[in-house]
Amino acid sequence: MTEPILQTRGLSRDFGPFRAVDDLSLTIQKGSITGLIGPNGAGKSTCFNLLTGMLAPTAGQIMLNGQDVTRQRPDQLFSAGLGRTFQIPRPFSRMSVLENVMLAPLNQTGERIVGPFLRRARVHDEEARIRARALEVLDFVTLAPLADHPAGQISGGQMKLLELARVLMGDPELILLDEPAAGVNPTLTGILIGKIEELNRQGKTFVIIEHDMDFVMQHCDPVIALAEGRKVFEGTAAQAQADPVLLDAYLGAMAHG
Ligand SMILES: Nc1ncnc2c1ncn2[C@@H]1O[C@H](COP(=O)(O)OP(=O)(O)OP(=O)(O)O)[C@@H](O)[C@H]1O
């Protein structure tokens, strides 16, 4: 029995007179790895920005686990179990890999109002807890040996793994990945895919924007295609591969895009 984790109804976003996302109704099933594809400018990143509260929709509704979360802020959505990575990671480059991961968690006691004496003890405990958790997720994404390196000096692929580590600090149920394989060498892509599949087996749901069609066909099911802000295809990877209209209009456009 499948159950939706995320749904949108009539989601739209205008930039001036231009409609980047147009009346989009999506259902993401719990436990799936959904691929979101479409040519450049189709509205995929705008869609992620809407889903994660970074942009307000012009119209429509977003439901997370049956709750209306339309217009919630990114931090509220992160607390509610929705994490995302960016197409181009921007870590704090002079801080270490470990420090970058430690910055991710929310609800740190130090920021709340408690007595100074109690606060010092709690902050100390909490920092130790956060550090231990950060080391654990770094180990999971295979970056533990680079924990003390400046984040600006690791490779593009390692930055993608760092992004995943930051997201995992919040232990989200649903993870949106924006082009995880772009610019990443095959070895690190292989590691990343292995981690995504391991997390998926543990019950996490993924939505992945990816231009690499081999990646999508091998690892995503279902596949949703957007073009000009609208959903133009939804089906299995095999159906996507066999759909002549999709192949011609969208996969072809992407291959040349
Ligand atoms: N902040 C903005 N202001 C104006 N137009 C925007 C803005 N953000 C996106 N757009 C436009 O909306 C359309 C969709 O862009 P979006 O980045 O969502 O597409 P995409 O499918 O993610 O493309 P790509 O595959 O190239 O990343 C594009 O035409 C883009 O120029």
- Cα dihedral 22→49→161→218 (10° resolution): -10
**Complex ipTM:** 0.94
> How far apart are the CA of 171 and the centre of ligand 1, in A?
29
Backbone angles phi, psi at 177, to 5 degrees: -115, 125
At 100, list the tokens: 């970058």
Most confident of the following: 85-89, 95-99, 119-123? 95-99
Cβ(43) to ligand 1 under 6 A? yes
> How far apart, in Å, are the Cα atoms of 122 and each of 53, 108, 127, 153, 169?
31, 9, 8, 33, 19
Of 116, 3, 196, the closest CA to residue 124 belongs to 116
Is 252's pLDDT higher than 90? no
Least trusted range by pLDDT, from 1-5, 12-16, 119-123, 250-254: 250-254
Rounded to an integer, what is the distance from CA 181 to the centroid of its chain? 13
Q: By alpha-carbon position, which residue is closest to atom 30 of ligand 1?
A: 41
Measured between alpha carbons, how far is 224 from 37 in angstroms, rounded to an integer? 6
Cβ(98) to ligand 1 under 6 A? no
Q: What atom of ligand 1 comes closest to residue 15's alpha carbon?
A: 4
Cβ(40) to ligand 1 under 6 A? yes
Backbone angles phi, psi at 174, to 5 degrees: -125, 125
What residue has token string 């749904």? 7
Q: What is the pLDDT of residue 97?
A: 96
Whole-prediction pTM value? 0.88
Cβ(45) to ligand 1 under 6 A? yes
Cβ(41) to ligand 1 under 6 A? yes
pLDDT in tens, 40-51: 899 999 999 999
70-104 burial: b if 16+ Cβ within 10 Å, else e: bebeeeebbebbbbbbbeebebeeeebbbbbbbeb
> How far apart are the CA of 8 and the centre of ligand 1, in A?
19
Domains annotated on the chain, with CATH: 1-81+172-257 (3.40.50.300), 91-171 (no CATH)
Beta bridge partners of 28: 6
Q: By alpha-carbon position, which residue is closest to atom 2 of ligand 1?
A: 15
- For residue 222, whether the previous peptide bond is cis, meaning omega lies within 30 degrees of 0, is yes
Least trusted range by pLDDT, from 27-31, 76-80, 110-114: 110-114
Q: By alpha-carbon position, which residue is closest to atom 26 of ligand 1?
A: 40
> How far apart are the CA of 19 and the centre of ligand 1, in A?
10
